[in-house]
Chains A and B, each alone.
Chain A
Amino acid sequence: METVLFFVFGATALAGALGVVLARNPVHSALFLVQTLVSIAVYFVIQEAELLAAVQVIVYAGAIVVLFLFVIMLIGVDRQEDITQDPIPYQRPIAVALGVAALVELLVLAGSTWATGQHTARGVPVRGGSFGNNVDRVARVLFTDFLWPFELTSLLLVIAIVGGVALARRSRLKPPPTGVPADTPGEVTTR
C-alpha cells in the first residue's frame, strides 16, 4: 500500500515540479506548484505527520499560492520572458550542470546511512509510547524544547507584516513625472 502511494504521488510531485519550471505562463506554474504541494502533503500523511499535512494544504496550497496568484493578476501575465538570450554567457548550461552535480551529492548522502543514528535526549517519538496523537506530540515538543524559537517566530511574523505593509502601500507623495528617471537621488521619497 505504501509502495503504491509512494510511487504514484512521487510521480505527481516530480511532474508538478517540472511543470513549475517549464510552464511558460506563471499561472500554470502556480497550479503545478499546487500539484506538487498536495503530493507532498500525501507524503506527510504516509509518514505519520498528519498535522503537517493539514498545515501544508492550508498554508501552502491555500494561502501562499493564492498570494502568488493575486500578484500575478495584479501585475499581469502577458509579459513573456525572453528565454533565448543568456544575460550571462553560458548561464543555463552551467546552471543545469551545477544542479546535476548537486543532485549527485544529495543522492550519495541520501543513499548512505550516516544520518540514521541516535535521536535527541528528550525526544518525543513519532509513534509508540503514551504521548497521544500526532498533534499532541508536536505540541509537546513545540511548547517545551522549541518554546524560544516559537516566540521568535512571532517576532519574525510581525516584521514581515510591517515590511509588507510598508512596501505595498502607496506613497502619499506624488510619483515622479514621466521622463525623469525614477531612481535619481533627488527623487528618493521619505515616508
Chain B
Amino acid sequence: MIATVTGNYYLVVGALLFTIGAIGLLVRRNVLVMFMCVELMLNAANLTFVTFARMLNDVGGQVIVFFTLVVAAAEVAVGLAIIVAIFRRRQGATADDVDMLKG
C-alpha cells in the first residue's frame, strides 16, 4: 500500500527544485545557465502556489502564477537583451567578465 500523496509532497518537490536552482545560480558562471537556474527557482515557486491553491481550495493561488509568468517573460526578454549587448562589447560568457563597475 503506497501512502496517499498530499500537498506536502508537492511542497517538498518545490523546495528541492528551488534549492537546485539556487545552488546552480551560485555555482555556475555561464550567464545563460544562471538565467535558466532563475527560471527553475521561479517554477518551484509556481508549483508551490498551485499546491497551496489546491490545499486551500482557493483559485487565487493559480492567478498569482500568471503574474509570475509575466514577470519571468519580461525578465528573460530584458535579461537576454542585456547579455547580447554585453557580447557585442566583449567576448566572454561568464559572469566574472562583467566586472566593469567593480570598485
Contacts and interface: CB of A to CB of B under 8 A. Distances in A.
A150 to B, nearest CB: 8
A115 B72 CA distance: 25
Interface string B18-29: 111111101111
Interface string B68-80: 0111111111101
Interface of A: 2-3, 6, 10, 13-14, 17-18, 20-21, 23, 26, 29-30, 33, 36-37, 40, 43-44, 47-49, 51-52, 55-56, 59-60, 63-64, 67-68, 71-72, 74-75, 79, 81-83, 87, 91-92, 95-96, 98-100, 102-103, 106-107, 109-111, 115-120, 123-128, 134, 137-138, 140-142, 145-146, 149, 153, 156-157, 159-161, 163-164, 167-168, 170, 182-183
Contacts of A92: 26-27
B56 to A, nearest CB: 4
Label chain B's interface by main secondary structure. Answer: helix
Contacts of B52: 115
B40 A99 contact: no
A140 B57 CA distance: 15
Contacts, number: 252
